[in-house]
Amino acid sequence: EPEVTQTPSHQVTQMGQEVILRCVPISNHLYFYWYRQILGQKVEFLVSFYNNEISEKSEIFDDQFSVERPDGSNFTLKIRSTKLEDSAMYFCASSLAAHEQFFGPGTRLTVL
Amino acid sequence: QKEVEQDPGPLSVPEGAIVSLNCTYSNSAFQYFMWYRQYSRKGPELLMYTYSSGNKEDGRFTAQVDKSSKYISLFIRDSQPSDSATYLCAMSATGGSYIPTFGRGTSLIVHP
């Protein structure tokens, strides 16, 4: 069964450093998303991507964040200058329709 | 008032019990109602979704939507220890933003 994959599973970085989180969505899906989940809190939407451009973003997704689909399979989230409060699980998801999203296993980002 | 409310639990039941998990919401524009299961430190897994009101059954799981009360439920029959997880409800509208809004999840523990 096709699935969304994410790398790395755990990323530790120093405050102020840049990180890139990687995702391989399900191959025939058209919509791609990034979410984050701070420990013990709800899943929060960051950004959605369709047809090689951002289709929607939340107020969390400020100028320190960017997304890219550099080739036909990868989808990346870049955080330019990490802050302590960026520590969270980051989930990539993909879908053919917004109500039927398939999530990856997540990347745990720890900012020291 | 938060858009989606979900009791975090934990809800502890014996194996074989019928489990009822619930969410309330305030946004009458929500039309799609999703249930996700999330094991500890894993990504959410879509269990099922319903459109508008009514019931939907899939194996031991039944989703129910009451739009007049803005209340949705997930019933799990013959619960198993492997059902122990956090259950997230999520909802999305069909106009404007299609991005789902998540509840904070209910932790379910099924003990043998």
Confidence grade of residue A70 (pLDDT, cut at 50, 70, 90): confident
Tokens of B10: 């934990």
Give the nearest partner residue to B43 out of A44, A56, A105, using CB atoms.
A105
Kind of pairing, strands B101-102 and B85-93?
Answer: antiparallel
Chain B residues whose CB is inside 8 A of the A43 CB are 44, 88, 90, 102
pLDDT band at B1 (very low <50, low <70, confident <90, very high): low
- Is residue B48 within 8 A of residue B36, CB to CB? The reply is no
Backbone angles phi, psi at A65, to 5 degrees: -105, 145
Mean pLDDT confidence for A46-52: 93
- E strand intervals along A1-112: 5-7, 10-13, 19-24, 31-37, 44-50, 53-57, 65-68, 75-79, 88-95, 102-103, 107-111
Separation of alpha carbons B21 and B1, rounded Å? 20
Tens of pLDDT, residue by residue over B62-78, are 999 999 999 999 999 99
Give me the pLDDT at residue B70, please: 94
Specify whether the CB–CB gap between A56 and A65 falls below 8 A: no
